[in-house]
Chain A
Amino acid sequence: MSYREKESLINIFSGIIITAIFSWVVYQRQLSGTIDLTEDYSVWGTIFLIFMGVSIVARIIIYIIFHILNAIATREEDIPKEDERDKIIKLKSTRNSHYAFSFGLMLSFLALAIGMPVYGIFIAFIGCGLISEIVENVSQLYFYRKGV
């Protein structure tokens, strides 16, 4: 398995784990009454900002650990340089990711139109973000394996 394929797998699992842990923490706070996500929408803004910060920091740590482990396992210290094939694969995967995000967003608007509570749209944002990230990385794995 190439470095890029491993990177895609790490992205998928880190995305799922970070989102799951963060969502669980927020949900526990909601249950304990510390925050009110159903009425106070400004809390959602804070949550999104914190989520972005936490996500970036967690990913940096995960990447460092991954790079160290990969260097130990393969004895290749340098990160492979991105070439034209990597760029094409990234472009096509990002396209698929945007399709997935747009589709999810449209579905959430539809759900809103037929009576879903307003806070549901924020949950849909997080869900669409995670799904689009998974689609992007699965697409990358597919293109690396099957060709582009």
Chain B
Amino acid sequence: MAKREISNDLRRFRFNNNEMTQQQLADEVGVSRQTIVAIEKGNYSPTLELAFRISIVFNTSIESIFKYEPKKK
């Protein structure tokens, strides 16, 4: 699987938010823990809706959690 152009800082945000567990975040945003694991590992890019829900949980903007890094041609 090709390396993704979207990276994230989800783990750091969880840690800074009272060491929130993956399961707690998953319950808050309505997905499975495996999906949160996949996002953190960079194996899955969430939909815009899920990205918004995650940013609302951490009370921040999407851009501060998710970064878009275009591949160099």
Which residues of A line the B interface, CB within 8 A? 2, 4, 80-81, 83-86, 144, 146-148
Contact = CB atoms under 8 A, between A and B. Distances in A.
5 A-B pairs with the lowest CB-CB distances in the bound complex, closest first = A147-B43, A83-B31, A85-B35, A146-B1, A2-B34
Interface of B: 1, 4, 30-32, 34-35, 38, 41-44, 46-47, 49-50
A85 B38 contact: yes
Contacts of B4: 147
Given A146-B1, A147-B38, A86 B32 contact: yes
Contacts, number: 37
B61 to A, nearest CB: 21
A33 to B, nearest CB: 53
A56 B72 CA distance: 50
B38 A81 contact: no
B30 A83 contact: yes
8 contacts: A2-B34, A81-B32, A83-B31, A83-B32, A83-B35, A84-B46, A85-B44, A148-B43
Given A146-B1, A147-B1, A85 B31 contact: yes
A144 B44 CA distance: 10
Given A84-B50, A85-B38, A146 B43 contact: yes
A13 to B, nearest CB: 22
Task: Point out which of B44, B47, B50 has the most chain A C-beta atoms below 10 A from its C-beta.
Answer: B44
Contacts of B49: 84
A4, A83, A86: most-surrounded residue (chain B CB, <10 A) = A83
